[in-house]
Amino acid sequence: AASKKAWVNDLLGFGADFIGGDKWLWMEQHWTHHAYTNHADMDPDSFSAEPVMLFNDYPLDHPARRFWHKAQGVFFLPLLSFYWVSMVFNPSIFDLDHPGAASIGMKLDNDFIKSRRKYAVFLRLLYIYWNIVCPFLHTGFTWTTAGQILFLGMSESLTLAALFALSHNFEGADRDPTKAARESGEPVCWFKSQVETSSTYGGYVSGALTGGLNFQVEHHLFPRMSSAWYPFIAPTVREVCKKHGVRYTYYPWVYQNFISTFKYMHKAGTGANWREFAQPLKGDL
């Protein structure tokens, strides 16, 4: 939240539509992601890139594995540059029925969603006209113009998707937060699972540059809090986690988080963690 007034936050949410996304689809996906962070079957962020690449570190004999995943440590970042294309031309814009959210039982055929479909389609057509059609109307069809449009999309994709990927895909991330509940019946501590499936890097400057995306632990614990407060509460969150034995992953610099993510993606793709007799779905790396 950026304001105490709901209508201001509601209006600012349309910023997603002006970068090629959609406010309502994002809420559907993000609510589900927050409720089931890193759950292999219920978090859309964990399986939506399959079969192209794996974020989940599946067992070696899992049917989701493909031979090309062994090289994903090299190609996952270039592949993320096409995130923009998958968002702008996402057919879910017509019915606002996010497949990931729908797959876990979220009811998306209610009157509110139906009433917003026409606005979502209009905003998407407006975005395509401004950012794809207009340049060609101005210059005619040229490969230079096409390249510039693609460069815009790739730059935007890497700015967002690369930072998203860092947040929950790193060495030591808990990839199976409900394991204890399944095996022993022990209730899942939602707060603990949010911390151990997320990472934080940097501080105030990184927060200002990324809109608070770097404080992913704090964001998952307090999703309705303005990100401007995250650098102030982060030290206390770390102290509380230390006191209760909760693993809080912090990287002083973003490049350290990137390195950890590259290593994780490589090992998830090759199955190296399983060959080394670790338990990646539990985060014991």
Please, which residues bridge with residue 201 across strands? 251
Report d(CA 124, CA 112) in Å as an integer: 19
Report d(CA 119, CA 218) in Å as an integer: 32
Listed residue (174, 193, 175, 172) closest to 263, CA to CA: 172
Residue 285 has pLDDT above 70, yes or no: no
* List of residues 6+ apart from 167 with CB closer than 8 A: 198, 199, 213, 216
Average pLDDT over residues 229-247: 96
Residue 254 has pLDDT above 90, yes or no: yes
Q: How many CA atoms lie within 13 A of 4 on its CB side?
A: 0
Q: What is the pLDDT of residue 282?
A: 52
Q: Residue 171 in contact with residue 264, Cβ under 8 Å? A: yes
Report d(CA 134, CA 150) in Å as an integer: 14
Q: What is the largest CA-CA distance in the chain?
A: 65
pLDDT digits (tens, 9 = 90+) for 46-75: 998 989 999 999 999 999 999 999 999 999
pLDDT digits (tens, 9 = 90+) for 197-232: 999 999 999 999 998 999 999 999 999 898 999 999
- The DSSP secondary structure of 201-240, one letter per residue, reads ES-HHHHHHHTTTTBHHHHHHSTTS-GGGHHHHHHHHHHH
Average pLDDT over residues 240-267: 95
Residue 124 has pLDDT above 50, yes or no: yes
Report d(CA 25, CA 247) in Å as an integer: 32
